Amino acid sequence: MSNQLQKLAWMVSLALVLVNPPVWAEENQKPIGKLSQLNNIEQSATSIQQLLAQSLIQVTGVNLQATDTGIEVILVTNQSDKLQLTNLSEGNSYIVDITNSQLSLPNGDVVRQENPTEGIAEVTVTNLDANTIRVTVIGEASAPQVQLFDSNEGLIFGVVSTVSTAQTPQTQPTPAEEQTSTETQEPIELIVTGEQDRYRVPNASTGTRTDTLIRDIPQTVQVVPEQVIKDQRVTRLRDALLNIGGVVQDGGFGGTSDQIGIRGFFAGGTLGGSILTDGFKDGRRGIRETANVERIEVLKGPASILYGGVEPGGVINLITKQPLKDPYYNAELSVSSFSTFRPSIDISGPLNSDKTLLYRLNSVYETSDGFRDFDQDIQRLFISPTLKWEIGKATNVTFQFDYLNDERPFDRGFLAFGEGILDIPLERILGEPDDVSKIEEIGLSYRLEHNFNDNWKVRNAFRYQSSDTSDYRAEPVRLNETTGILTRNFRSNDDYQENYTLQTDVVGKFATGSINHTLLFGVDLARSTSGGTQSRAPGGITPSIDVFNPVYNAAPRPGLDELTNVVRNSQGSTDGLGIFLQNQIAFADNLKLLVGGRFDTVDQNSTDLRDGSEFGRYDSAFTPRLGIVYQPIEPISLYASYSQSFQPNFGTRPDGSILEAERGTQYEVGVKGEFLDGRLAATLAAYRITKTNIATTDLANPDFFNSIGEQRNQGIELNVAGEISPGWNVIASYSHIDAEITKDNDGLLGNSPANVPFNTASLWTTYELQRGSLQGLGFGVGLFYVGDRQGDTSNTYIIPSYLRTDAAIYYKRDNWRAGINIQNLFNEKYFQGANFGRVAIEPGAPLTVIGSFSVTF
């Protein structure tokens, strides 16, 4: 049955890709005539029926041209007579919001040009939200005068330089006759990006797999935008996630990988886990790179409706940078403590004159000694080229490749001691100086999108991801707390994993009477193959070590061929099929329903190559989601939702039967608000997640299991992000989690799960001077708090709380930026996480100073 469904799904996906797309006729644009003044333009609809009857007007281009008196800003559309404008000008800024419209540019959603002409500081055209375009023209000395024109191209804003009109009182923009001048006008190069230099991101795709306003999603969605990543000088996913409430580092396998906890659950899952890249469960095993990341989106709570088998805490989605239509060249050099040297480049632009073939290249090299003893070199190389081909106006395809090579010490960190953590110097290692980890990863993907019309489109995407990992270390086994002697064992892992994922979906927008729908139907196919060995030294070969007075290299390190105790030599495969349907229903402008369901099958097979034994299991599950959003007033969203997750289990019962899949269920209610004219957003949420069918040891037969375990996590979260005033940005969060093991037969009943703090909080804020001789000078400060947490599920020791303080100062001018960031300003000794009992507690870095300089052309 599973194989038949998979074959059928592959055929459907292939047919959708190969089908010949229809050719849509284009009507020639006609002159519309002179526009009315702003206060005479038709007012927005005042009834729900009128709102729903209106269609969103697409602006497909933005052009800037120089004139004798200033510049013209041209919004390219053939429906300029239907645009509705509202004047919000203040101070030196001319601001107009155009409702019922959206920028639909080939790349990015922001057009910005600094100093386009004398007297004009900046012109910006951006999507304010999913229904509004904002045009902003900032004058240097006073607000510019603006006239509105109509032409065959679209709507034209004629901007008069403030140099020649500084003494003229500002008036409302006045209409002018239809443009008939034949004078030569010089085009102005525009910078088009997806970045808005803001901390608040209004839209996200992770919560629905469609581009949706966060205020319309009935679950918590948080975003770490690119500007926060830049301001904090973040180079690791774990550091970026300090800004997200309820997310903590959950160990790190000797400091070599990203292991994250969300709402008290490990971010794992089948076929690649809960950390995604552009919506793909890629199964990376190394430390993820941020050099090509535009933003990080986090969906809290069960997400199996969209992504299949995942843990119920949520998913993390890294959205990568895409090619730009205009040349962009950025180079940066970062030098920091512990001899860390990190140069990087980010370049993009067109490869042909028609700008239908675009590229982007992100690359970074890093070398460091690290803050632990023996200065073993850390080396890291990352390269990610992307190519986008606009085949036609309705069709585009993007190809992406990334390569990571990472070599660093394998370091288990600290040990538990009594009910706390061993008190030894931060830099001391308890392995051997030449313990090492090597990781090589390759990713290759394509994404094809075809728009049948303005309302229907099909998307097909494929990703291949491989990881080859190896390590060799002196593994800590057991500490004698009386003598301080730590027994160890030399061991080595050599593993590989390959993931193949094919996604095909159709998105359609339509109405049934006065009710609007956004329909998503899709098929996901995935295959993962993996295998590897773990070899250990026979007993007695590895010398023990005194943790208070260590002596290293007390005996020669054995060769790999001397590790003759092979405890694992296996290979396996997992095949998955997911079919899902989702409907976003707008009954009214302020009442929205989200409903969906997904059916998954997972077929797992593994072979123990030591004795030839085989194991297989087949799981199927249906996971629903239901949510409602009510907006009593425009800035406020009240919501409630119900969602489920599933995750295939492991092990067998004493009678040989397989365990049922783990299931997660969440109930969440909350309120989302937008303040300060939409510049600041906040979410307050309360939730309860119950995870059932957790495998527990069968007491009568310890080699077997029963699926009777249960864990209940409940809590509240508060998240804030945005701009308080011009130049003053903030991102902050608070989370409280009450986590408990509510069913168990191993004596853990009532315990708290490992590494789940009751309270976490973060605050990062920056202020940049907007005017004067020091314009571009900025300051930042950050506070990151993680409360006490249990170190293991037996609750035998506590990982203490910590408060880390960061700071930054930078200066931006023209096309360059220089800055200094300080992480852990007060040199707090703290521990990031633990997920391997009492012998692997990962320490945080001490005071770290980062100097950076970047230049952009």
Do 478 and 486 form a contact (C-beta atoms < 8 A)? yes
User: Could you count the other beta carbons within 10 Å of the beta carbon of residue 517?
Assistant: 14
Q: Which of 711, 623, 709 is closest to 265 using CA atoms?
A: 711
- 199 lies in a domain? no
Q: What is the pLDDT of residue 192?
A: 47
Q: Which of 368, 404, 151, 141 is closest to 291 using CA atoms?
A: 404
Q: What is the pLDDT of residue 119?
A: 82
Q: What is the pLDDT of residue 540?
A: 66
Do 716 and 736 form a contact (C-beta atoms < 8 A)? yes
Domain encompassing residue 749: 328-485+493-856
Whether the pLDDT of residue 515 is over 90: the answer is: yes
Query: Pairing state of beta strands 70-76 and 485-512?
Result: unpaired
> Could you say which of 193, 208, 242 is where a domain stops?
193
Paired residues of 654 in beta bridges? none
**Per mean pLDDT, which range of 171-180, 368-377, 450-459, 793-802 is the poorest?**
171-180
H or E element, residue 398 = strand 395-408
- Burial of 214 per CB tally in 10 Å (0-12, 13-18, 19+): buried
d(Cα 670, Cα 219) in Å, to the nearest integer? 8
Q: What is the pLDDT of residue 656?
A: 77
d(Cα 316, Cα 326) in Å, to the nearest integer? 30
Task: Name which residue leads in pLDDT, 652 or 9.
Answer: 652
- Side chain identity at 52, as an amino acid letter? L
d(Cα 514, Cα 15) in Å, to the nearest integer? 34
Q: What is the token pair recorded at 228?
A: 């926060």
pLDDT in tens, 688-728: 999 999 988 877 787 788 888 999 999 999 999 999 998 99
- 321 lies in a domain? no
- 572 lies in a domain? yes
d(Cα 805, Cα 784) in Å, to the nearest integer? 6
Query: Pairing state of beta strands 191-193 and 203-204?
Result: unpaired
**Cα Rg of the chain, angstroms:** 29
Q: What is the pLDDT of residue 45?
A: 43
Q: In angstroms, how far is CA 74 from the centroid of its own chain?
A: 33
């998503």: which residue's tokens? 520
């500081």: which residue's tokens? 121
Q: What is the pLDDT of residue 757?
A: 96
Q: What is the token pair recorded at 664?
A: 């997660």
- 10 lies in a domain? no
d(Cα 62, Cα 76) in Å, to the nearest integer? 6
> Could you say which of 193, 215, 250 is where a domain stops?
193
- 225 lies in a domain? no
- Burial of 773 per CB tally in 10 Å (0-12, 13-18, 19+): exposed
- 301 lies in a domain? no
**Per mean pLDDT, which range of 160-174, 698-712, 778-792 is the poorest?**
160-174
Three-class DSSP category at 39: helix
Q: Assign residue 596 the CATH number of its domain.
A: 2.40.170.20
Q: What percent of the chain has pLDDT over 70?
A: 88
Q: Which of 436, 572, 566 is closest to 496 using CA atoms?
A: 572
d(Cα 365, Cα 345) in Å, to the nearest integer? 10
d(Cα 750, Cα 707) in Å, to the nearest integer? 17
Paired residues of 72 in beta bridges? 65, 158
d(Cα 259, Cα 242) in Å, to the nearest integer? 13
Q: Which of 418, 335, 407 is closest to 376 using CA atoms?
A: 407
**Per mean pLDDT, which range of 122-136, 339-353, 468-482, 630-644 is the poorest?**
122-136
**Per mean pLDDT, which range of 139-153, 220-234, 815-829 is the poorest?**
139-153
Q: What is the token pair recorded at 453?
A: 């019309």
Instruction: Give me the long-range contacts of 12-21 (CB less than 8 A, separation at least 24).
Output: 12/504, 12/523, 13/460, 13/502, 13/504, 13/523, 13/525, 16/458, 16/460, 16/504, 16/506, 17/448, 17/460, 17/504, 21/394, 21/395, 21/450, 21/452
Alpha helices by DSSP H, listed for 21-88, are 48-53
Whether the pLDDT of residue 191 is over 70: the answer is: no
d(Cα 787, Cα 266) in Å, to the nearest integer? 18
Check residue 88 and report its DSSP letter. Answer: -
pLDDT in tens, 643-690: 999 999 887 888 878 889 999 999 999 999 999 988 999 999 999 999
Whether the pLDDT of residue 36 is over 50: the answer is: no
What average pLDDT does the chain have?
87
Per-residue pLDDT band at 423 (split at 50, 70, 90): very high
> 52: number of CA atoms within 13 Å, CB side?
19
Per-residue pLDDT band at 55 (split at 50, 70, 90): low
Whether the pLDDT of residue 7 is over 50: the answer is: no
d(Cα 261, Cα 643) in Å, to the nearest integer? 19
Cα distance between the two ends of the chain: 57
| Number of residues that make up the chain | 857
Per-residue pLDDT band at 145 (split at 50, 70, 90): confident
- 290 lies in a domain? no
H or E element, residue 275 = strand 275-277
Q: What is the pLDDT of residue 581?
A: 98
Paired residues of 277 in beta bridges? 280, 318
222-257 burial, b for 16+ CB within 10 Å, e for fewer? bbbbbbbbbbbbbbebbbbbbbbbbbbbbbbbbbbb
Q: Assign residue 148 the CATH number of its domain.
A: 2.60.40.3500
d(Cα 529, Cα 606) in Å, to the nearest integer? 10
DSSP symbols for 102-139: EE--SS-SEEEEEEEETTEEEEEEEEEETTEEEEEEEE
Q: Which of 208, 265, 222 is closest to 274 using CA atoms?
A: 265
Domain count, the chain: 2
d(Cα 576, Cα 520) in Å, to the nearest integer? 20
User: Could you count the other beta carbons within 10 Å of the beta carbon of residue 152?
Assistant: 13
């998955």: which residue's tokens? 576
Q: What is the pLDDT of residue 115?
A: 79
**Per mean pLDDT, which range of 162-171, 348-357, 481-490, 588-597 is the poorest?**
162-171
d(Cα 74, Cα 161) in Å, to the nearest integer? 16
> Could you say which of 145, 160, 193 is where a domain stops?
193
CA 506 vs CA 12, 20, 586: distances in Å? 12, 15, 19
- 551 lies in a domain? yes
Phi, psi (5° rounding) for residue 748? -100, 0
